[in-house]
Amino acid sequence: MSELFQLQKAFTEHLRNPDAVPVPAGLDPRRVGIYTELVFNNLQSLLSDFFPTLKGILPIERWRQLVRDFLISHQAETPYFPKLSEEFVHYLSGRQNIGDDPGFLLELAHYEWINVHLFTHQSEVPDKPVPEEDLCTVPIQLSAVAEPLAYTYPVHHIQPDSQPGEQPTLLLVFRDPDESVRFFELQPFTFQFMDTLHDNPGLVAGHWLADMADQMAPRNTEAFIESGVAMLQRFNKQCVFETSRQSVLDNFNSEETRDTSDKR
């Protein structure tokens, strides 16, 4: 191991944990101290922007301890600043709550992260709803900027002055055509559809509704299906669905085949 590498390693270890790791020999403690404080303050500022509600709920010293422990103990998988919010959630998921940490700490952090993630996601919001005549008959998928999420706490209602207890919460969080990230609270049946669609892009909604009617055996199957279609139409207006890419490809190939046959 070269002398330069040893110095760099000792320097970065000190930057992460200046209270436990001494300033490397040969470096000016005052200048190193300035740099160490700059690194921590920049990280704290970034995380404060990503997790404003979480920061506002925790006492300032507890927040600073959390940021410091993240810097000390978490080995980030990416050098990109925009990905720090995801790295922070990974860090929280691998640790136990300490002392008076709220039970919702991890879920709130995840909810704040998903808002950042969807807002900065490179995928485009569907530019228009799925044609109504196709909604139940062609394969569809969720928009790439829509996520169905299940939480133990009502994370969308948590604020520094309002911290409700456990309450199972089902949400659809999505970016809308105006580039705003929004959410809908979901009923269990709607969440089941959104979650199934998320895991099975290319699902035909009409087939799913018919299968659910067979499983649940409602008194009035026709009314059950109509209610399901109405649910689909409401969300379709928000551009959270799009025609499955495989369906588009199949249609394109079909048109190509038809054109070739016509020429013959």
pLDDT digit string, tens, across residues 9-60:
888 887 888 888 788 888 888 898 888 899 999 999 999 999 999 999 999 9
Mean pLDDT of the chain: 89
Whether residue 131 sits in one domain with residue 35: no
Which of 44-53, 192-201, 241-250 has the lowest average pLDDT?
Answer: 241-250
Residue 122 scores a pLDDT above 90? yes
pLDDT of residue 176: 96
Q: What is the CATH number of the domain that holds 225?
A: 3.90.930.50
Whether 117 is in a domain gets the answer no
Tokens for 186, please give them.
């979901």
Whether 209 is in a domain gets the answer yes
CB-based contact 22:8 (threshold 8 Å)? no
Whether residue 152 sits in one domain with residue 258: yes
Whether residue 251 sits in one domain with residue 140: yes
Whether residue 222 sits in one domain with residue 157: yes
| Top-confidence range, 2-16, 66-80, 109-123, 243-257 | 109-123
Alpha helices per DSSP H over the chain: 3-16, 29-50, 52-57, 60-73, 84-93, 105-120, 188-199, 205-216, 221-236, 245-263
Whether residue 168 sits in one domain with residue 132: yes
Whether residue 138 sits in one domain with residue 68: no
Based on its alpha-carbon atoms, the radius of gyration of the chain, rounded to whole angstroms, reads: 25
Give the domain extent around 255: 126-264
CB-based contact 10:21 (threshold 8 Å)? yes
Q: How far is 32 from 1, CA to CA, in rounded Å?
A: 23
Q: How far is 201 from 99, CA to CA, in rounded Å?
A: 42
Confidence of residue 250 (pLDDT cuts 50, 70, 90): low
Q: Which of 172, 47, 165, 51 is nearest to 104 (CA)?
A: 165
Total tally of structural domains belonging to the chain: 2
Whether residue 95 sits in one domain with residue 32: yes
Whether 106 is in a domain gets the answer no
Whether 164 is in a domain gets the answer yes
Whether residue 248 sits in one domain with residue 134: yes
Mean pLDDT of 207-227: 95
pLDDT of residue 100: 82
Q: How far is 234 from 17, CA to CA, in rounded Å?
A: 52
Alpha helices per DSSP H over 22-101: 29-50, 52-57, 60-73, 84-93
pLDDT of residue 111: 98
Burial class (CB in 10 A: 0-12, 13-18, 19+), 126: buried
Q: Which of 86, 69, 68, 64 is nearest to 77 (CA)?
A: 86
Whether residue 63 sits in one domain with residue 142: no
Whether residue 226 sits in one domain with residue 136: yes
Whether 74 is in a domain gets the answer yes
pLDDT of residue 2: 74
Whether 90 is in a domain gets the answer yes
> What 3-state class would DSSP assign to 158?
coil
Q: What is the CATH number of the domain that holds 72?
A: 1.10.150
Residue 84 scores a pLDDT above 50? yes
Biggest CA pair distance of the chain: 83
pTM metric for this prediction: 0.87
Which of 60-64, 80-84, 106-110, 218-222 has the lowest average pLDDT?
Answer: 80-84
Residue with tokens 């054109």: 259
Residue 255 scores a pLDDT above 50? no
Q: 5-12 long-range CB contacts below 8 Å, 24 or more apart?
A: none
Asked whether the CA dihedral 220, 223, 226, 232 is positive or negative, the reply is negative
Task: Output the CA angle 186-236-129, nearest 5 degrees.
Answer: 155
Whether residue 54 sits in one domain with residue 146: no
Mean pLDDT of 203-212: 97
Whether 107 is in a domain gets the answer no
Residue 126 scores a pLDDT above 70? yes
Whether residue 86 sits in one domain with residue 183: no
User: In the listed set 52, 67, 101, which residue is the last one of a domain according to the structure?
Assistant: 101
Whether 63 is in a domain gets the answer yes
